[in-house]
Amino acid sequence: MEPRHVALCFLFRTTEAGSEVLLGLKKSGFGVGRIVTLGGGIEPGESAAQAAVREVAEESGVVVDEASLTALGRVRWRFPAQPAADMDAAIFTAVEWAGTPEPTLEVEPAWYPVDKLPWEGMWEDAQHWLGAVIAGTPLDVLVTLNPDNETVSTAVFA
């Protein structure tokens, strides 16, 4: 079975208090109840960058221009106990956009200081690769989950 192709976009801003990243509490769909980044499935005929722009707008109301995206690489998740959940994600960041994040039916967006991320509310695997995104470091990571489909068996950087 082919993994689901998704695009994730991390928006960053700098305030007087320091650097912050936009994340959101997932209110519906995959990952409900967890703090996640904005993003989702790449639709037929759509590039990963186009999907990132669309998903940010759908999940927060924020408008990001495709030219403002920085492609960092990819994260691949494998769920051996549930292969239908396998995903390959294109990872993007942006520091320029228009609008103010607003709640949607799917996500409750919020800004978090990059040095005080809400790890306890996030998927465990984020601890393995999100630091590279925060640092702006290119990445190519393969995350394999344990049979519980939540905890990490391995996270291998290519």
Task: Summarize pLDDT for 73-115 with one digit per residue, the tens.
Answer: 999 999 999 999 999 999 999 999 999 999 999 999 999 999 9
Contacts of 153 (CB under 8 A, 6+ apart): 80, 144, 145, 146
**Total domain count, the chain:** 1
The CATH number that applies at residue 62 is 3.90.79.10
- Beta carbons within 10 angstroms of residue 13's beta carbon: 13
**Tally of residues, the chain:** 158
Q: Is the pLDDT of residue 57 over 90?
A: yes
Is 32 a domain residue? yes
Q: Report pTM.
A: 0.96
